[in-house]
């Protein structure tokens, strides 16, 4: 049965817990707040299926020739609600229009991030927008398989390791499956995210009503994290100043597997990959209106067929993939390990959120000077 000797060798994908015929694997949080499989040895029948489906133990190599595109959804309202160019919504609507079901990451009632499914367009809102925290798969691979076996079209979206886990769990190809992954910086700890939500609610004196990780009204490139509270209060702070996003982008609270990610490659298991086209203002300056442009990799024939189906609903231009990833190294390179990570997690129990982040994620003098200069020089 599955045993984790080194935490970096488990992405928390849930393939092992979904396959177990005795349901004797629970995914439990460790002290940092990341899920790992824990086997109930009294129930285990030693069938070995959990080892057989683990995508880290059974590495899969794929060889494809992806094409890359700069894309924007022609519907500006959807684009503004989405993280980059709003391409996920177009694909999801296409699948639902053909009677299919969409799996993705959304908030539960307490703003924890979980995977679930939707078979109506009105429900897609819950998946729209990136949530920068690890999403819990739960039993969703099992549910996706049930739909696939009934011949229902399934769109499954997730991080590259979640798509790797799904493919491994399914164990065979399905004609009715479309897999979408994202360019992935890494996933922060759900426990640190919980601490942050609690901290914001304490300051606001109310429960959270909604959260937007990518509030773009002041522009896509200078996006903010926004909280809306039940008492009408709001909190908004730019990505460079919000303490949670600071901790995320300083790589201090990522899952151990994210520092040596095996899924960062241009030869992906997904059919389509979505990301922010951060280099668009240099590569295609006329395309950039600062409302968000997606970088889309078309990885497979299935992906190409779906991409062509939504073509008339988006603006798109093909780009050289190698040039595009120069501006988006997360596509192919793991985030650098932060040497203060261990101490950060140790102190995370004791310190309040603001004190924790000021202690471990303070900006360097250079960054501070640059920020002051930007303010002074701003026209």
Ligand X SMILES: Cc1cc2nc3c(=O)[nH]c(=O)nc-3n(C[C@H](O)[C@H](O)[C@H](O)COP(=O)(O)OP(=O)(O)OC[C@H]3O[C@@H](n4cnc5c(N)ncnc54)[C@H](O)[C@@H]3O)c2cc1C
Q: Which residues, numbered 11-30, are part of the site for ligand SF4 (CB under 6 A)?
A: 11-16, 20-22, 24-25
Give yes or no for residue 179 binding ligand SF4 (CB under 6 A).
no
Tokens, residue 255: 């899952």
* ∠ CA 244-12-107, rounded to 5°: 50
325 contact choice in ligand SF4, ligand X, none (CB below 5 to 8 Å, kind-dependent): none
Phi then psi for residue 138, to 5 deg, are 55, -130
Q: How far is the CB of 250 from ligand SF4 (least distance, A)?
A: 15
Q: How far is the CB of 150 from ligand SF4 (least distance, A)?
A: 24
Contact residues: ligand X, CB under 6 A: 82-89, 104-105, 113, 127-133, 135, 157-159, 182-185, 187, 274-276, 294, 328, 330
Q: 160 near 188, Cβ under 8 Å?
A: no
Is 168 within 8 Å of 141 (Cβ atoms)? Answer: no
By CB under 6 A, residue 257 contacts ligand SF4: yes
Compute how many other C-beta atoms are within 10 angstroms of the C-beta atom of residue 96: 20
The token pair that represents 55 in the structure block: 């995508």
Q: Is 322 exposed, middle or buried (0-12, 13-18, 19+ CB in 10 A)?
A: exposed
Closest distance to ligand X from the beta carbon of 294 (Å): 5
Between 157 and 300, name the residue whose CB sits nearer to ligand X.
157
258 interacts with, out of ligand X, ligand SF4, none, CB within 5 to 8 A per kind:
ligand SF4
Could you list the beta-strand ranges (E) of the chain.
25-29, 35-39, 67-73, 101-107, 113-118, 154-158, 177-182, 208-215, 224-229, 234-238, 272-276, 294-298, 314-319
Residue of closest CB approach to ligand X = 104
Residue closer to ligand X by CB (options 39, 278) is 278
Binds ligand SF4 by CB under 6 A, chosen from 72, 83, 135, 159: 159
Cβ-based nearer residue to ligand X, 188 or 204: 188
Q: Which does 46 bind (CB under 5 to 8 A by kind): ligand X, ligand SF4, none?
A: ligand SF4
Of the residues 32, 50, 111, 183, which one makes contact with ligand SF4 according to CB under 6 A: 50
**Nearest distance from C-beta of residue 25 to ligand X, angstroms:** 21
> What's the rounded Cα separation, in Å, for the pair 88 and 179?
11
| CA contacts within 13 A on the Cβ side of 162 | 27
27: CB partners within 8 A, 6+ apart: 12, 14, 17, 35, 36, 37, 38, 136
Give the one entry of ligand SF4, ligand X, none that residue 244 binds, where binding means its C-beta sits below a cut-off of 5 to 8 angstroms depending on kind.
none
**Cα distance between residue 253 and residue 235, in whole Å:** 22
Residue 47 vs 305, nearer CB to ligand SF4: 47
Q: Which partner, ligand X, ligand SF4, none, binds residue 255 by CB below 5 to 8 Å per kind?
A: ligand SF4
158 binds ligand SF4 (CB under 6 A): no
Smallest Cα–Cα separation from 129: which of 194, 82, 87?
82
Paired tokens of 67: 């094409």
**Strand pairing report for 208-215 and 224-229:** antiparallel
The partner in contact with residue 275, picked from ligand SF4, ligand X, none with C-beta cut-offs of 5 to 8 angstroms by kind, is: ligand X
| Burial (Cβ within 10 Å: 0-12, 13-18, ≥19) of residue 265 | middle
The minimum distance between CB 351 and ligand X, in angstroms, equals 25
257 binds, among ligand X, ligand SF4, none (CB under 5 to 8 A by kind): ligand SF4
Among 32, 33, 34, 56, binds ligand SF4 (CB under 6 A): 56
Q: Which residues bind ligand SF4 (CB under 6 A)?
A: 1-2, 10-16, 20-22, 24-25, 37, 39, 44-50, 53-54, 56, 159-161, 165, 184, 186-187, 255, 257-258, 261, 263
């Amino acid at each position: 049965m599955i045993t984790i000797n080194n935490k970096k060798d488990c992405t928390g994908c849930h393939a092992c817990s979904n396959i177990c015929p005795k349901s004797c694997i629970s995914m439990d949080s460790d002290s940092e707040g990341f899920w790992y499989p824990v086997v109930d040895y009294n129930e285990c029948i030693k069938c070995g299926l959990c080892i057989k489906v683990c995508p880290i133990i059974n590495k899969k190599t794929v060889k494809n020739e992806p094409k890359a595109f700069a894309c924007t959804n022609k519907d500006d309202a959807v684009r503004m609600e989405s993280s980059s160019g709003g391409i996920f919504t177009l694909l999801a609507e296409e699948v639902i229009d053909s009677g299919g079901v969409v799996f993705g990451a959304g908030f539960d009632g307490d703003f924890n991030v979980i995977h679930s499914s939707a078979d109506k367009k009105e429900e897609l809102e819950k998946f729209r927008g990136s949530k920068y925290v690890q999403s819990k798969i739960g039993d969703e691979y099992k549910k996706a398989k049930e739909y696939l076996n009934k011949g229902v079209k399934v769109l499954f979206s997730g991080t590259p390791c979640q798509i790797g886990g799904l493919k491994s769990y399914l164990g065979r190809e399905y004609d009715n499956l479309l897999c979408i992954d994202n360019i992935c910086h890494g996933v922060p700890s759900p426990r640190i995210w919980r601490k942050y939500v609690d901290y914001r609610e304490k300051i606001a004196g109310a429960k959270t009503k909604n959260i937007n990780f990518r509030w773009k009204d002041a522009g896509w490139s200078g996006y903010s994290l926004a909280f809306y509270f039940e008492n009408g209060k709001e909190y908004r702070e730019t990505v460079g100043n919000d303490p949670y996003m600071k901790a995320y982008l300083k790589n201090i609270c990522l899952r151990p597997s994210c520092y040596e990610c095996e899924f960062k490659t241009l030869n992906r298991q997904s059919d389509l990959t979505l990301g922010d086209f951060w280099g668009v203002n240099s590569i295609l300056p006329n395309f950039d209106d600062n409302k968000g442009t997606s970088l889309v990799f078309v990885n497979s024939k299935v992906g190409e067929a779906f991409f062509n189906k939504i073509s008339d609903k988006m603006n798109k231009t093909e780009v050289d993939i190698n040039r595009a990833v120069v501006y988006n190294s997360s596509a192919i390179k793991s985030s650098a390990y932060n040497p203060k990570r261990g101490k950060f997690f140790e102190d995370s129990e004791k310190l309040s959120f603001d004190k924790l982040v000021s202690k471990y994620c303070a900006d360097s003098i250079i960054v501070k000077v640059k920020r002051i200069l930007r303010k002074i020089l701003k026209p």
